[in-house]
Amino acid sequence: MIVTLHRHGARIPSSDKLSLTDKAPNSGELSLVGQRQLFYLGQLLNKDYIQDAKLLSAKYDPSEIYYRSTDVNRTIMSAQCLLAGLYPAQSGDMIPDDILNNKKDLLNVDFKLRGSTAVTQIADKYPIQNGYQSIPIHVVERPRDKILLGYGDTCPEEEKWNPENQKSEDWQRITQEFQPQINKFAKIFNLDISTLDLYTVYNYMDIIIAQQYAGMKLPDDYTNDAQLQYDLEIFYNLRIHLSLYKTPLQKRTTVTPFLNNLVQVLSDKVSNPKNKLKGYFLSAHDTTVNMVLQGFNLTSWECIEQTYMKTLPKGTYCNYGPTRYGANLIVELRQDKTSSKNFIMVRYNGEYQKICDQTSQYCDLDEFKDRVAKFVVPNYDEMCGQKVQEKEKPLYSSSNYLKFSILVVIVSAFLL
């Protein structure tokens, strides 16, 4: 099976100009370019895991696929676009001919139009016009989404950790290391240098990167300087780590729900022969992808700084580059045909990574589970400074449905 985590596609800039206060209409929504990016990613996954590996069925099978997104428009839409590429139009089943030819009334619904002009049923044999395949995407509201947003609202301690990190010597030192780029950035965009630090440059870069993907005109001194753009993207990425994943406690705490869930998903697949799940998909943010990359020991703010300063110890691996729109991390659960042992391989943007001990692309599943057990914190809620919450429950489990049915009966009795 595969577990796929990806960032959303390009979004509409938060400002039409370089302003941290003047918000543009529909800012933050998935842009047309972002839609195409994720559709293309879906096509790539179709080629690798449907056409070549033949892991996933060519037609959508509800027992094979589970998709979850953060409760944000751009991530939900990104998931929809990826699925449109993974299961392209006209790849699904068609309505039986007997219904189309002899029982068309079954396709109607009870609704009376106000006007006299009727709406004609489509002639398509597919359920939806042009053969679009409808696939569910599950969402957990932000205050409860520990798995994908473990660094956010679900962890109140972040409100204390983040300001502390901004006062640290590391924060100040890294700002100084990038001072030449900050000076050039301020001059190009006519910004007050005294107001620029790691945090404010991040906010400006967030706008500029989105404007680039929107095709908006930027100063030639910036667009023609590829090295400056790249360095500032690294600076942008460092701010994410230094804010959210700086201390050993932060690093372990924030990714704990994700790693625990990942181990559970992989273990369920191995232990339950009836488990048909083959594709577990997660649509989230660059902050989520970075959270998991550092949880896999593939990156950290320390190694990013060391790589930039050319002080990274020899033999140490570091994913140094920026986590751009559509960045994706795939955990492949595999089985050795000879020994029947289970192991995992990890791809980041399609390239296999050296995991576990940073010397091999293969990691025994039991070893991986042991490493996770030693890295995660024992109680996420306590570490985050909040009361213990109940574990997530399916919105429509049988027990919840029963409770809802009883409530409906009681309410109906009162209404009667």
Query: Quick one: 101 and 33 in the same domain?
Result: no
- Listing DSSP states for 105-158 in one string gives GGG--S---SSSPPPPPP--SSSSGGGPPP---EEE-GGG-TTT-TTTTT-TTH
Residue type, 221: D
Could you give the CA distance from residue 133 to residue 45 in angstroms, rounded to a whole number? 16
Domain that holds residue 260: 2-79+134-155+256-383
Task: Calculate the alpha carbon distances from 315 to 344, 345, 358 in Å.
Answer: 22, 20, 9
Angle between helices 198-213 and 169-177 (to 10 degrees): 50
Residue 146 inside a domain? The answer is yes
CB contact set of 90 (below 8 Å; sequence gap of 6+): 126, 130, 131
Query: Quick one: 293 and 149 in the same domain?
Result: yes
Annotate 75-110 with b (16+ C-beta within 10 A) or e (fewer).
Answer: bbbbbbbbbbbbbbeebbeeeeeeebeeeeeeeeee
Query: Quick one: 57 and 144 in the same domain?
Result: yes
Query: Quick one: 182 and 263 in the same domain?
Result: no
Position 408 scores a pLDDT of 44
Among 220, 242, 264, identify where a domain stops.
242
Query: Quick one: 100 and 203 in the same domain?
Result: no
Position 401 scores a pLDDT of 40
Residue 389 inside a domain? The answer is no
Residue 166 inside a domain? The answer is yes
Query: Quick one: 138 and 281 in the same domain?
Result: yes
Residue 175 inside a domain? The answer is yes
β-pair type (328-335, 138-140): unpaired
Domain count along the chain: 3
What CATH number is attached to the domain comprising 142?
3.40.50.1240
Query: Quick one: 139 and 127 in the same domain?
Result: no
Residue 392 inside a domain? The answer is no
Could you give the CA distance from residue 316 to residue 303 in angstroms, rounded to a whole number? 9
Residue 388 inside a domain? The answer is no
Residue 406 inside a domain? The answer is no
Query: Quick one: 178 and 293 in the same domain?
Result: no
Query: Quick one: 146 and 265 in the same domain?
Result: yes
Q: Which residues pair with 283 in a beta bridge?
A: 6, 69
Query: Quick one: 103 and 44 in the same domain?
Result: no
Query: Quick one: 170 and 238 in the same domain?
Result: yes
Mean pLDDT split into 10-residue runs, the chain, 416 residues: 98 94 94 98 98 98 98 98 97 96 95 91 94 96 96 95 96 97 97 95 97 97 97 97 98 98 98 97 98 97 96 93 97 96 98 91 96 97 79 47 44 44
Could you give the CA distance from residue 76 to residue 8 in angstroms, rounded to a whole number? 8
Both tokens of 299, joined, read: 């990156």
Percent helix, strand and coil across the chain, each rounded to 5?
Answer: 45, 10, 40
Q: At 3, which helix (H) or strand (E)?
A: strand 2-7
Residue 249 inside a domain? The answer is no
Query: Quick one: 216 and 298 in the same domain?
Result: no
Angle at 44 between CA 39 and CA 45, to 5 degrees: 95
Q: pTM, whole model, 2 decimals?
A: 0.92
Could you give the CA distance from residue 225 to residue 351 in angstroms, rounded to a whole number? 27
